[in-house]
Amino acid sequence: MQWLGGMGIIVLFIAILPQFAVAGRQMFYAEAPGPTEEKFTPRIKNTASAIWIVYTTLTFLCVVCLWAAGMPIFDCICNAMSTLSAGGFSPNPESIGGYHSNAVVYIIFFFMFIAGTSFVMQSRVLTKRDPRLFWKSEEFRFYTKIIIVVSTILALFLYIEHHYSCVEAFTASFYQVLSLATTTGSSSENYHLWGLDCKLILFLSMFLSSCSGSAGGGVKMTRWLLIYKYIKNEMYKILYPNAVMSIKIDNIVVSTPVIKQTIFFMLCYFLIFGVSAFLITIVEKNLVIGTSAAIASLGDIGPAFGAVIGPLGNYSSLSIFTKTIFILNMLIGRLEIIPFLVLFQRETWNVKK
């Protein structure tokens, strides 16, 4: 179910969301220019077929690599499917850390990183046989740099305060940051045992997200990049009020409506997070559970913080009301906010003859 769902959300992203003009979709506007159905249909078919091939091939390669690392074949298939789909479920109750193999951790990390990038970009790279296309993507560069910076900071804390070796610190930090950022949610270690400073960094990682057109959920790196450029431009305009500046992503000018929708999306996202965290905290009488579980469900990440719902815990002991909030958050987070809100518009349900 996770494997099919991972591809399903990508096809939904390509086929439906651009018609809603969902912010931060410049990559797909280039793939399918214009909002009309006639222009979308042939390119959707070609793009969907291409990413199915990439998706299936990467899953098969992940299975082979894990099998070569000594993992049982059943576990190889399950972990490969949940990794490429950014789902994170594992047949091992201790997740990836339960295999006690650095080789397995490195393999899952590599394919998890790939799952957090655009599958359309991957199909272009394979078609043109030019890996440099990855680095030409502004979003990919932003995604890579953010993961490296945040993971390095966490590794320093693990090395200095928790006395990890250099290799262990970087392995644990890069895996956990990437897992939470891409909304995969698998774990190589029980980070519940880490200090508050490390947990705060991981909590920040939950808001980062993966690239547009990937299997991951969350805000998407394109939106963060757009917000960063928007703030930068506004600060520049304070110094130079008469300056006329445009925001570009991959040398494509982002229109004003797209910027407005990005801001609207971010406001809605954090509003839902804040309300969810407030309600869950009241019901469960626990601030850690309230805040971490709210973003873990809205971002479709899975594990949160604490002994109850941490990396080795589960949500079974929480109240029905809390679980209902989680269900709504996961639905909104997976479908994305704007299409979800569109469902409640009367015009959406009008049948045109």
Residue 27: per-residue pLDDT: 38
| CA gap 176, 184 in Å, rounded | 10
pLDDT tens-digit map of 78-136? 999 999 988 888 999 889 989 999 999 999 999 999 988 888 788 888 878 888 888 88
Distance of CA 153 to the CA centre of its chain: 20
How far apart CA 182 and CA 197 sit, in angstroms, is: 21
Assign residue 151 a region: left if phi > 0, alpha if psi is -120 to 50, beta otherwise?
A: alpha
Q: Which two tokens stand for residue 11?
A: 């096809």
Confidence band for 31, pLDDT divided at 50, 70 and 90: very low
Residue 38 pLDDT class (50, 70, 90 cuts):
very low
Structure tokens at 126: 């394979």
CA atoms within 13 A on the CB side of 29: 17
Alpha carbon distance 189, 104 (integer Å):
13
Query: Does the pLDDT value for residue 18 go beyond 70?
Result: no
Span 139-153, average pLDDT? 93
Give 144's pLDDT tier (boundaries 50, 70, 90).
very high
Confidence of residue 44 (pLDDT cuts 50, 70, 90): low
* pLDDT number for residue 40: 38
User: Does 45 score more than 90 pLDDT?
Assistant: no
β-bridge partners, 253: 248
Length of the chain: 353
Q: What is the mean pLDDT of the chain?
A: 83
| CA distances for 258 relative to 19, 95, 227, 311, 339, angstroms | 12, 39, 11, 37, 15
d(CA 336, CA 17): 9
Q: Which residue has the tokens 């018609």?
A: 19
> Does position 42 have pLDDT exceeding 80, yes or no?
no
Residue 16's Cβ-count burial label (10 Å; 0-12, 13-18, 19+) is middle
Lowest-confidence range among 8-12, 58-62, 308-312?
A: 8-12
Question: 231-282 pLDDT, tens per residue?
Answer: 988 888 888 888 778 888 888 888 888 888 888 888 989 999 999 999 999 9
